[in-house]
């Protein structure tokens, strides 16, 4: 494509994106040092892709616009090495839903125990959740507003008591009891590790998908759990540990969140009990925290 034809095509693109505006005040792109430019067009849409800029061979710029007065435009720009965060599967067809494959998404929050019996006082300031959506497949609407996804990830929760009571395992049962007389308590905690399968819906506001709200139902396969208690007594340190604590093998979490660019906030509730009710205290989990790159 010659410079003359490229300039004419870019002018047409900007006129279509501005929907009749008579004055353009901002420069969207300077192509003087681009490595490769791909411009595609059909009856309803025009797409511009730029690969490489100057000494940066990893630079990528995408501009998509529809020939419609009310249509929004989508711009993505950045420099990355190996970028697998947003891969489109199949051929993009204007006016149709697209399928994307993404990697990444981290969350960190504070956990509390709801409905816990007397004496089971989970310290929310010391109880954490860390989770990651490792991979996810997305169906995205043509206007980029609606996003349905199914993913796979990991979740780690730590329910920690720092007061005068501890978790005690006797045979197959777990109960809550005070520390021995004269003991100096450190902590008593239950940890649960899970494989997660989140089904999520996100609604993106405006162009560029900068703002979004999302809700999710998360199927969890709880593959590992353990109990640990640490305290000191008569100058000696004691540790009680067990991996057989009868966690529920499968559970479900309900999650809602709000995001801006790569940062978000979330709240998550577990309607299923954390531990098997036949052998352990009954309580649910409520988590609030931050998400990154969702």
Per-residue pLDDT for the chain (294 aa), expressed as one digit of tens each? 445 555 555 555 554 444 444 444 555 666 667 777 777 766 666 777 777 777 776 777 777 776 555 544 555 555 544 444 555 555 555 568 889 999 989 999 999 998 888 889 999 999 999 999 999 999 999 888 999 999 999 999 999 999 999 999 988 889 999 999 999 999 999 999 999 999 999 999 876 668 999 999 999 999 999 999 999 999 999 999 999 888 999 999 999 999 998 999 999 999 998 888 777 888 999 999 999 988
The SS3 of residue 180 is: coil
Q: What are 175's two structure tokens?
A: 């109960």
Q: Which residues pair with 109 in a beta bridge?
A: 129, 289
CB 184 within 8 A of CB 233: yes
What Rg do the C-alpha atoms of the chain give, in angstroms?
Answer: 26
Q: What are 90's two structure tokens?
A: 């199949």
Sequence spans of domains, the chain: 3-83, 103-292
Helices in the chain by DSSP H: which ranges? 3-18
How many C-beta atoms lie closer than 10 Å to residue 4's C-beta? 8
Quickly count helices (H) and strands (E) in the chain: 1, 17
Predicted confidence at residue 76, as pLDDT, reads: 54
Q: Look at the chain and count its residues.
A: 294
Q: At the topology level of CATH, where does 103-292 sit? A: Porin (2.40.160)
Which long-range CB contacts under 8 A does 234-237 form with residues at least 24 apart?
234/182
Predicted confidence at residue 18, as pLDDT, reads: 43
Give Cα 154 to chain centroid, integer Å. Answer: 11
Which residue from 262, 150, 286 is spatially nearest to 208, judged by alpha carbons? 262
Q: What are 37's two structure tokens?
A: 């430019």
Predicted confidence at residue 77, as pLDDT, reads: 54
């Amino acid at each position: 494509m010659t410079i003359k034809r490229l300039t004419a095509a870019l002018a047409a693109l900007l006129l279509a994106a501005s929907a009749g505006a008579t004055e353009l005040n901002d420069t969207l792109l300077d192509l003087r040092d681009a490595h490769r430019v791909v411009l595609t067009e059909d009856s309803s849409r025009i797409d511009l892709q730029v690969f490489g800029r100057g000494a940066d061979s990893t630079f990528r710029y995408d501009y998509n616009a529809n020939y419609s007065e009310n249509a929004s435009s989508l711009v993505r720009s950045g420099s990355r090495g190996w970028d697998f965060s947003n891969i489109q599967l199949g051929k993009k067809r204007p006016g149709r839903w697209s399928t994307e494959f993404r990697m990444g998404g981290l969350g960190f929050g504070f956990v509390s125990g709801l409905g816990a019996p007397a004496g089971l006082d989970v310290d929310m300031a010391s109880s954490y959740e860390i989770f990651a959506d490792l991979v996810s497949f997305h169906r995205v609407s043509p206007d980029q507003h609606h996003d349905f996804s199914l993913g796979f990830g990991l979740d780690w929760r730590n329910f920690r008591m720092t007061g005068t009571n501890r978790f005690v395992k006797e045979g197959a049962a777990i109960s809550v009891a005070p520390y021995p007389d004269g003991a100096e308590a450190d902590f008593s905690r239950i940890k649960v590790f899970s494989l997660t399968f989140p089904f999520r819906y996100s609604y993106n506001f405006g162009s560029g998908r900068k703002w979004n709200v999302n809700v999710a139902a998360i199927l969890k396969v709880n593959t590992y759990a353990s109990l640990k208690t640490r305290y000191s007594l008569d100058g000696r340190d004691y540790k009680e540990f067990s991996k057989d604590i009868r966690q529920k093998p499968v559970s479900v979490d309900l999650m809602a969140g709000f995001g801006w660019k790569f940062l978000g906030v979330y709240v998550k509730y577990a309607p299923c009990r954390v531990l098997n009710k036949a052998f352990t205290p009954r309580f649910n989990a409520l988590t609030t925290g931050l998400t990154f790159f969702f």
